[in-house]
């Protein structure tokens, strides 16, 4: 029995126990047997949980794209690697074979080098979901440049701050992007961002929409002619196991976004292993993950995980509602999708629509359906299981994070059982624990606590770009000696985990992590605003929506609160992106604060939820009377 592929429940337990007993042996065997290395490691793991230092597969040499591309060419060169499904269903889908992908990545890698990009340089990729996005990511990895993909829904300010944080030398973007019936001027956003990003020397521009754009002399270059002229093969840069592969920004509960740094070998081994097992991918399957490559889900489970396993993976440019709400189901039927991986927010949005959108389509090809990004509620789970999976497909509710790199807790299709709303059991190699408020590990079952991981795993982020102290403080100090996830969880009577949600000031809106602090900072920039506080409240489709409490500098200025609210949302949109807009804004004269000046968000959350019971002891507040005012003014 190959230990890479989990065969049944007994095998799972055997491997799980082995991975806990001897993690180094477990991971080295997986790494040894299933990848192409330029040089093997001298040591599997070196770590220090206190200092947050982790090294896996020390001194091994490898290039992840050799493993994603080259090694498949001999036997599967003609197999489709990527199916590109454009935004407009009338535009023909593209099938890109492994041979073709190899050539496209090689050409792009040569272009990057010709344009002065070297190993270790940072390249910001700001592209829609088109094949060039995949090609650009892989080309960076090919030459050892560190890719920093920024989701193409972020605003110019957000793009600029991410570029500056890691001093990117280049941006790869397109003239525009299609999202449903809209076309977005991506190049214009980049131009605006670059007014404040002096590190960028070159901008490569993909033509997608054909809209007219400004090309800055000496900086901006159309990509196509460069690719046409480039050589079609490229020898991959030999990378050290611990060389950074990419930076991906994620929101923190305070301050600026955190550039999570992932390195090469550990990330490769674990994304490949988790993809193969969680989705039970078989040789001729067509796999589709609807995430955007701008998020970790797209990195690990549209690109790297599938390509490492020689899979066929779909890249979809559009949205579930365009031209109508049957688009996902049409695509599943059209490409005979076998594994489908999406987010609870999409499931809830689609479940709200008539079943007439789904019934005309055959979803018979599906074998496995997955969920990621936030807790999936019971109703959505059952709808997904019944109407999409036909009750025959395991629903894999996969819990993980940008920081973890790979799926950590999840059912394994056809191997471990599923349970509605439960991410269930940890993957082999992952050691979750629940912690109580006194920082003790909670033993036994039927318990709840803060979810931590007590042993390192290969695909964990190694640091925050430029700020190792913040990495250490955010993840390794709350529960000394353990990685703190920021999530709360419960463990049921048989040891299955259910993630209950964030326990910090990160709010998950439509599956996107949003920190309260950056949004509050944006609001506070409005000249009329003195102070603000953001909390989440439950929302039918988005899971959570944002509720803002805003104090104005002068009450007289509150004359036109409707306009002010619009201006505030515009500011948020400009600074962060439309995903961070507030659903509700309440103007208040004060915020409940502790004597040390800390905002009592717990009370604000309850009011936003419309739950006026049990505020707890508010007499210790600096200003207890404000609670009544806020309650009465709830919007």
User: In the bound complex, what is the minimum distance in angstroms from residue 385's beta carbon to ligand WTA?
Assistant: 15
User: In the bound complex, what is the minimum distance in angstroms from residue 209's beta carbon to ligand WTA?
Assistant: 28
Question: Do 480 and 453 touch, CB atoms closer than 8 A?
Answer: no
Nearest alpha-carbon partner for 311 in 268, 278, 272: 272
Structure tokens at 259: 């550039």
Taking the least distance from each CB to ligand WTA, the nearer of 310 and 432 is: 432
Q: Among residue numbers 487 through 526, which ones bind ligand WTA (CB under 6 A)? A: 487, 499, 502, 508, 513
Query: Nearest 5°: CA angle at 212, between 207 and 218?
Result: 75
Alpha-carbon gap, residue 378 to 351, rounded angstroms: 13
> Position of tokens 């054909």?
210
User: In the bound complex, what is the minimum distance in angstroms from residue 101's beta carbon to ligand WTA?
Assistant: 25
Taking the least distance from each CB to ligand WTA, the nearer of 383 and 400 is: 400
Q: Which of 132, 175, 191, 374 binds ligand WTA (CB under 6 A)?
A: 374
Q: Which of 85, 191, 317, 397 binds ligand WTA (CB under 6 A)?
A: 397
**β 122-126/170-174 pair status:** parallel
Q: Among residue numbers 228 through 257, which ones bind ligand WTA (CB under 6 A)? A: 250
Q: Which stretch binds ligand WTA (CB under 6 A): 83-91, 171-179, 348-356, 392-400?
A: 392-400
Rg from Cα positions in the chain:
24
3-class DSSP assignment, residue 396: strand
Taking the least distance from each CB to ligand WTA, the nearer of 85 and 487 is: 487
Q: Which stretch binds ligand WTA (CB under 6 A): 90-98, 116-124, 352-360, 479-487?
A: 479-487
User: In the bound complex, what is the minimum distance in angstroms from residue 251's beta carbon to ligand WTA?
Assistant: 8
Alpha-carbon gap, residue 481 to 568, rounded angstroms: 42
User: In the bound complex, what is the minimum distance in angstroms from residue 99's beta carbon to ligand WTA?
Assistant: 31
Residue 485 as a binder of ligand WTA (CB under 6 A): the answer is yes
**β 368-372/339-342 pair status:** parallel
> Position of tokens 């000394």?
480
Taking the least distance from each CB to ligand WTA, the nearer of 141 and 499 is: 499
Whether the ω angle into residue 323 lies within 30 degrees of 0, i.e. cis, is: yes
**Ordered strands of the 447-453 beta sheet:** 432-435, 447-453, 483-491, 497-502
Q: Which stretch binds ligand WTA (CB under 6 A): 34-42, 291-299, 330-338, 452-460?
A: 291-299
Alpha-carbon gap, residue 577 to 221, rounded angstroms: 26
Nearest alpha-carbon partner for 519 in 545, 543, 541, 554: 545
User: In the bound complex, what is the minimum distance in angstroms from residue 417's beta carbon to ligand WTA?
Assistant: 16
Q: Which stretch binds ligand WTA (CB under 6 A): 41-49, 54-62, 293-301, 433-441?
A: 293-301
Q: Which stretch binds ligand WTA (CB under 6 A): 173-181, 207-215, 267-275, 295-303?
A: 295-303
Contact pattern for ligand WTA over residues 400 through 419, marking x by CB under 6 A = xxx-----------------
Taking the least distance from each CB to ligand WTA, the nearer of 372 and 380 is: 372
User: In the bound complex, what is the minimum distance in angstroms from residue 402's beta carbon to ligand WTA?
Assistant: 3
Q: Which stretch binds ligand WTA (CB under 6 A): 24-32, 123-131, 480-488, 594-602?
A: 480-488
Question: Do 117 and 237 touch, CB atoms closer than 8 A?
Answer: no
Question: What are the start-end ranges of the H helices in 309-437?
Answer: 327-335, 344-351, 378-383
Q: Which of 423, 433, 534, 535 binds ligand WTA (CB under 6 A)?
A: 423
Q: Which of 267, 399, 471, 475 binds ligand WTA (CB under 6 A)?
A: 399
Count residues binding ligand WTA (CB under 6 A).
22
- Determine whether 198 is exposed, middle or buried from the number of CB atoms within 10 Å of its CB (0-12, 13-18, 19+): exposed
Nearest alpha-carbon partner for 242 in 18, 401, 42: 42
Structure tokens at 310: 């020689």
Contact pattern for ligand WTA over residues 36 through 75, marking x by CB under 6 A = ----------------------------------------
Taking the least distance from each CB to ligand WTA, the nearer of 153 and 176 is: 153
CB atoms within 10 A of CB 566: 12
Alpha-carbon gap, residue 64 to 70, rounded angstroms: 10
Q: Which of 143, 190, 372, 509 binds ligand WTA (CB under 6 A)?
A: 372
Alpha-carbon gap, residue 185 to 439, rounded angstroms: 49
Alpha-carbon gap, residue 622 to 614, rounded angstroms: 18
Q: Provide CB contacts within 8 A for 325, sequence distance 6+.
A: 350, 353, 357
User: In the bound complex, what is the minimum distance in angstroms from residue 420's beta carbon to ligand WTA?
Assistant: 12
User: In the bound complex, what is the minimum distance in angstroms from residue 376's beta carbon to ligand WTA?
Assistant: 6
User: In the bound complex, what is the minimum distance in angstroms from residue 256's beta carbon to ligand WTA?
Assistant: 16
User: In the bound complex, what is the minimum distance in angstroms from residue 632's beta carbon to ligand WTA?
Assistant: 33
Alpha-carbon gap, residue 430 to 407, rounded angstroms: 10
**Is the alpha carbon torsion for 108, 113, 119, 122 positive or negative?**
negative
| Residue 440: DSSP 8-state | P
First and final C-alpha spacing in the chain = 60
Q: Which stretch binds ligand WTA (CB under 6 A): 32-40, 292-300, 327-335, 522-530?
A: 292-300
Q: Which of 305, 373, 389, 543 binds ligand WTA (CB under 6 A)?
A: 373
Taking the least distance from each CB to ligand WTA, the nearer of 35 and 399 is: 399
DSSP run (H or E) holding 350:
helix 344-351
Alpha-carbon gap, residue 205 to 405, rounded angstroms: 29
Q: Which stretch binds ligand WTA (CB under 6 A): 48-56, 274-282, 394-402, 536-544?
A: 394-402
Give contact residues for ligand WTA (rule: CB under 6 A).
250, 295-297, 372-375, 397-402, 423, 485-487, 499, 502, 508, 513
């Amino acid at each position: 029995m190959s230990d890479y592929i989990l065969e049944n429940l007994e095998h799972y337990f055997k491997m799980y126990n082995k991975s806990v007993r001897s993690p180094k042996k477990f991971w080295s065997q997986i790494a040894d047997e299933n990848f192409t290395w330029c040089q093997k490691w001298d040591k599997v793991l070196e770590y220090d949980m206190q200092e947050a230092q982790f090294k896996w597969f020390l001194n091994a040499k490898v290039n992840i794209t050799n493993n994603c591309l080259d090694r498949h060419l001999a036997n599967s060169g003609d197999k489709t690697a990527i199916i590109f499904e454009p935004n407009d269903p009338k535009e023909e889908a593209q099938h890109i074979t492994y041979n073709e992908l190899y050539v496209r990545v090689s050409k792009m890698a040569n272009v990057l080098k010709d344009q002065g990009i070297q190993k270790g340089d940072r390249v910001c990729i700001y592209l829609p979901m088109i094949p060039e996005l995949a090609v650009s990511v892989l080309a960076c990895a090919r030459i050892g440049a560190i890719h920093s993909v920024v989701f193409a829904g972020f605003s110019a300010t957000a793009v600029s701050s991410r570029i500056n944080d890691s001093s990117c030398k280049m941006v790869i973007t397109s003239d525009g992007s299609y999202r449903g019936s809209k076309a977005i001027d991506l190049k214009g956003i980049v131009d605006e961002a670059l007014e404040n990003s002096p590190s960028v020397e070159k901008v490569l521009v993909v033509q997608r929409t054909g809209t007219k754009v400004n090309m800055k002399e000496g900086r901006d270059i159309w990509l196509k002619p460069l690719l046409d002229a480039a050589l079609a093969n490229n020898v991959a840069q030999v990378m050290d196991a611990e060389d950074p592969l990419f930076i991906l920004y994620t929101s923190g509960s305070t301050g600026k976004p955190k550039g999570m740094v992932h390195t090469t070998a550990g990330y490769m081994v674990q994304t490949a292993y988790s993809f193969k097992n969680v989705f039970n991918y078989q040789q001729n399957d067509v796999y589709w993950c609807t995430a955007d490559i701008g998020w970790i889900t797209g990195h690990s489970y549209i690109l790297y995980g599938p390509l490492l396993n020689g899979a066929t993976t779909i890249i979809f440019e559009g949205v579930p509602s365009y031209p109508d709400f049957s688009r996902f189901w049409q695509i599943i039927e059209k490409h005979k999708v076998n594994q489908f991986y999406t987010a609870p927010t999409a499931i809830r949005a689609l479940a709200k629509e008539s079943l007439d959108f789904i019934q005309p389509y055959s979803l018979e090809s599906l074998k496995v359906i997955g969920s990621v990004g936030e807790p999936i509620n019971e109703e959505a789970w059952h709808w997904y299981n019944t109407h999409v999976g036909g009750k025959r497909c395991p629903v894999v509710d996969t819990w993980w994070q940008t920081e973890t790199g790979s799926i950590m807790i999840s059912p394994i299709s056809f191997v471990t059982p599923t349970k509605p709303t439960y991410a269930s059991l940890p993957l082999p190699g992952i050691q979750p624990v629940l912690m109580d408020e006194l920082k003790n590990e909670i033993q036994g079952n039927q318990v709840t606590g803060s979810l931590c991981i007590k042993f390192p795993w290969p695909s964990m982020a190694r640091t925050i770009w430029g700020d190792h102290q913040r990495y250490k403080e955010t993840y390794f100090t709350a529960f000394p000696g353990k990685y703190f996830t920021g999530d709360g969880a419960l463990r049921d009577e048989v040891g299955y985990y259910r993630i209950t949600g964030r326990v910090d000031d990160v709010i998950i809106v439509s599956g996107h992590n949003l920190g309260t602090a950056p949004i509050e900072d944006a609001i506070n920039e409005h000249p009329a605003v003195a102070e603000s506080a953001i909390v989440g409240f439950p929302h039918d489709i988005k899971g959570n929506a944002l509720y803002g409490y805003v104090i104005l500098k002068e009450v007289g200025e509150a004359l036109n609160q409707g306009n002010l609210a619009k201006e505030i949302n515009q500011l948020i949109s400009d600074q962060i992106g439309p995903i961070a807009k507030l659903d509700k804004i309440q103007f208040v004269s004060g915020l409940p604060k502790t004597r040390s000046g800390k905002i009592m968000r717990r009370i604000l959350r309850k009011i936003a939820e419309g739950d006026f019971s049990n505020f707890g002891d508010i007499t210790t507040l600096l200003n207890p009377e404000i609670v009544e005012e806020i309650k009465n003014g709830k919007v």
